[in-house]
Structure 1
Amino acid sequence: MTFTSRRSGRWMVAGAAILLSGCASFSPDGGMGIVTATVSRDLGKDAAALRTPDETSAARSTVKRLLSKPLSADAAVQIALLNNRGLQAAYNELTIEEARAVEASLPPNPAISLSRIAGSVEVEVERRIVANVLALATLPVRSEIAAARFRQAQTIALSETLRIAADTRRAYYRAVSASELASFLAQAQSGAETAAKFAIRLGETGGMNKLDQAREQVFYADLTAQLAVMRQRAASERESLIRAMGLWGDDLAFKMAAALPPLPSRPQSLPGIETEAVRRHVDLQIGRLELDALAKSWGLTQATRFINVLDAGFAGKTTREKATGEKLRDRGFDVELQIPVFDFGEVRVREAEATYMNAVNRLMERAVNVRSEARDAYRSYRSAYDIAIHYQREVLPLRKIISDETLLRYNGMLIDVFALLAEARQRIAATTAAIEAKRDFWLATTNLNTAVMGGGVPGRSETARAMSGASAEAPQH
């Protein structure tokens, strides 16, 4: 169908000008505002997307300064936030989503076609400027959907930042505890070696039978094996920390603390742990944004379910007669409408509604799981604290008293060497358990923070992928 109008071109230009006035623009920080603000507030750290040589140089200077001193857990997290290339890749994805959001806010480019037909009598020159009217009509809604996706991408970038921070902190505590255990077992092995040699001499003089000699030697052999295993474990845990911080080359020579941080004087009291987790958990924030985008996508599907292609635009046709050379101009619209003979849009509406409810139910499920995970993380935290503080305040002081009294009795020749060696075994076991309990407490602390804030999702969630699939049918320009 063709409708003639001399003012069609003016109307299209005016309409395009109005649409352009509502176009989105790139943010000064590339969408990093929510990431940097949350990381600064909740972690006390700096996160930055390194997009220029100056930013990269500044981050490198900070990393070298932190590595010049014995590494702490906070320093390791800060290095990872600035130096982990996987995290920087996540920030690059945020920039990509912002570009897509800006692109979605722009009206479609018109298509210009020119045809020339020469006959025996006249020459016809036909010009057409075609614009996607459907894309223009749905531009505000599509722009809102793209903006919602960009907000979702910001939250995903925040989730990835929190995940990297938590993984680095866990790697640090494991590496330090493994190194501390290796150092302690090395000291214990040295003492066991001395005892084993002493047992051999006693056996040569007849002061110790073969059974007791074998017991001392096997204790030394067991400690040697444990030390070898722990040294390998310490090396592997250190490599895990190196990967989390993104280090290589000369940076690998950093030094860690000799022991884990001391326990706090009292544990945290979090009566509203569930409410806090539901309010702050980044996974639930992502889910809410996904629902918002899905709702907009559903409304767009309903609004356009009877139209698949609707292209309209200004069409101009010039006819030149060969005999007189006179130009004849005709103007009008060229409209193409696809009639839904077989599919009236019911399939798309049903699919969109089911996809939306799928996202709703998954978000509700995640909310229930977040509440449960928060409760479980807090119980684990309190249990780990109680166990670690029990070793610190009860077991280790008592073991020290027993060890000192045993040594005094041995020096006073009130007990034999066998009682002294037996006490050494028990002291080694208690000290090893105390170091592991302290490590478990700091890991539980990290897990508690993760349960409240989130950061356990390395990529897009199931509802995000469902949203992408549902919106794939939305009109594009």
Structure 2
Amino acid sequence: MTQHFARGLLMLTAFGLSGCMAFSPDGGMTTVSDLASQTINKDVAFVRSAEGAEAVNATVHRLLARTLTAETAVQIALLNNKGLQAAYNELALAETELVEQSLPPNPVFSISRISGNGANEIERQVVGDILALATLPFRSDIARDRFRQAQLRAALATLRLAADVRRAYVRAVTCNELAVLLTDAKATAESTAQLAVKLGETGSINKLDQAREQVFYAETTADLATARQAATSTRERLARLMGLWDDGLDFRLPNQLPPLPRRPQALPSIEADAVAHRIDLQIARLELTALAKSLNLTEATRFVTLLDLAGISRRTQDPEGAPFRERGFDVQFQIPIFDGGEVRVRQAAETYNLAFNRLTERAVNVRSEARDAYRTYRSTYDIASHYQREIIPLRKIITEEMQLRFSSMQVDIFALLTEARQRLASLRGAIDARQRFFLAQSDLQTAVNGGGSPASGGDTSTTIAAAASADGDH
């Protein structure tokens, strides 16, 4: 009987091995690469060898050789950011979990020899976990869903880094542009303050007007120092996101933001696009599927928490030296006297309901975020375009007319300086409006594809997955 059991155990094990997963050559990166290519048109790389590292370094150095654009900065970060590489390592670890869950449990073989009082006894025993073998297809299916989630989480980390780099790039270039503007304004204010001092010495202007010119110069100097500090800080943040250090820190940024697009994007189905493409929603859907499968598995095994079937072959030698063999089997299981499995079933059901409500809440929030992001995108485009088409051209006309009138002595120096202050304020407003537009453009892309900050309610996927894992392992 023991031989029959051993053969059955081996056949069952072989059957389980036929459905085993194998490690993929890229660590599950195909899904991440495809999503990055389709969503943001960028390449990603999982560096796992010295050759891969050299290839990435060569590409990064080539991209750093010219003035950075937002797209170039994003590409460098996706190749060079070590935090993103750590996310890809987590994906590779998730694949090991998938392979492990697809393997049947190892049978345990033991042999013992006992002698005494002239008698010898040799016992061989093979122990297999029948419950683990029976639930192997279910556990493998759940593990595949969780691995798919891990792939989407890695893709989400990729999109999140890309969005962070775009925002950091916009802020860094804005600070550069503002610093250039304030440098010119400071030179003008300094000349004006010096002129005011000379006029004050001759008695041509009073102390009040002289103080006004000097305070304008002092305030412009302070604003320039603040802008330069902001430019340094935003540049450092961009360098961190791109994973640059030492020689890579001398990258070049443009002195101003690019011009506005000729027309804004028209997205009539923004809500449907967001619900269909948001990666965080895809993760939540897979989580719900995995929990449903885990709930079914919990209900199927609620009364059996341990089942070990042991095939026993015992060889005994009596005191007279005549050997004889004993065969049999031993079954061990828990008797559900106090806990019939209702607690685990209730836990699984409530965990599923939790995930369902989180998914529904997230879907509602995604639609709202998409609507709000598009409205912000359109309004910031209109404001920045208004500055570009109306305010700045009018300011240019006013400046030219004031200079002509000053040349013909129709206005004095103070009227000209007053106009210079107003023009400076308009230019700063235009820079700020363009910055807001490009940030809103990045936020719109994030609202449609995902990659923003976690929801305010917290990312509960890890907690929910842990609960599902506990249920599936029983």
Deviations 1:39-64 (A, max 9, x none): 11121110111111111111111100
- Secondary structure of 1:126's partner? strand
Q: Distance in 2 between matches of 1:124 and 1:84?
A: 64
Paired residue for 1:328?
324
Matched, 1:208 2:210: no
Counterpart selection for 2:47 from 45, 50, 62: 50
Contact conserved, 1:133 with 1:311, CA < 8 A, in 2?
Answer: yes
* Post-superposition CA distance 1:10-68 (Å, at most 9, x none): 11111111110010111222111111111111211101111111111111111001111
Name 1:413's counterpart in structure 2.
Answer: 409
Question: d(CA) in 2 for partners of 1:387 and 1:112?
Answer: 77
Change (3 A) 1:205 1:457: closer
60, 63, 81: which is aligned to 2:60? 63
Which residue of structure 2 lines up, in the alignment, with residue 277 of structure 1? 274
Q: Which residue of 2 aligns with 1:102?
A: 99
1:175 maps to what in 2? 172
User: Which residue is equivalent to 2:399?
Assistant: 403
Contact 1:203 1:209 (C-alpha < 8 Å) held by counterparts: yes
SS in 2 for 1:335: strand
Alignment partner, residue 23 of structure 2? 26
Sort the Cα spacing of 1:457 and 1:328 in 2 relative to 1 into closer, same or farther, 3 A.
farther
State the distance in 2 between where 1:66 and 1:463 align: 36
Number of aligned residue pairs: give it: 472
For the Cα contact (< 8 Å) 1:374–1:448, is it kept in 2? Answer: yes
The CA deviation at 1:467 is 2.6
1:341 aligns with 2:341: no
Aligned pairs (5 A) from 1:63-462? 63-324=60-321, 326-457=322-453, 461-462=459-460
CA contact (8 A) 2:239 2:249 kept: yes
How far 1:322 sits from its partner (Å)? 4.8
Scaled by the length of structure 1, the TM-score of the pair is 0.97
| Unaligned stretches of 5+ residues in structure 1 | none
Structure 2, gaps ≥5 residues long: none
* 1:339 aligned partner, one-letter code: I
- Matching residue's letter, 2:349: E
Q: Distance in 1 between matches of 2:346 and 2:90?
A: 32
C-alpha distance in structure 2 between counterparts of 1:279 and 1:339, whole Å: 48
- Residues 352-404 of structure 1 deviation map (CA, whole Å, 9 limit, x = unaligned): 11110110011000000000000000000001100000000000000000000
CA RMSD of aligned residues (A): 1.3
- Matched-pair contact (CA < 8 Å) for 1:283–1:457: no
Query: Aligned with 1:112: secondary structure?
Result: strand
Partner of 2:255, secondary structure, is: coil
Compared with structure 1, are the counterparts of its residues 474 and 298 closer, same or farther at alpha carbon in structure 2 (3 Å cutoff)? same
Q: In terms of mean alpha carbon deviation, does 331-340 or 209-218 score higher?
A: 331-340
* d(CA) in 1 for partners of 2:239, 2:324: 77
CA distance in structure 2 between the aligned counterparts of 1:6 and 1:417, rounded to whole angstroms? 109
Report the Cα offset of residue 167 of structure 1.
0.1
Amino acid paired to 1:282: I
CA contact 2:290–2:468 (8 Å) conserved in 1: no
User: Using the alignment, how far apart are the partners of 2:106 and 2:410 within structure 1?
Assistant: 98
Aligned equivalents of 1:181 and 1:191: distance in 2?
A: 15
Answer whether contact 1:80 1:165 (CA < 8 A) is retained. yes
Deviation at 1:208, TM superposition (A): 1.0
TM-score (norm 2): 0.97
Letter in 1 for 2:418: A
Stretches (4+) displaced over 3 A:
457-460
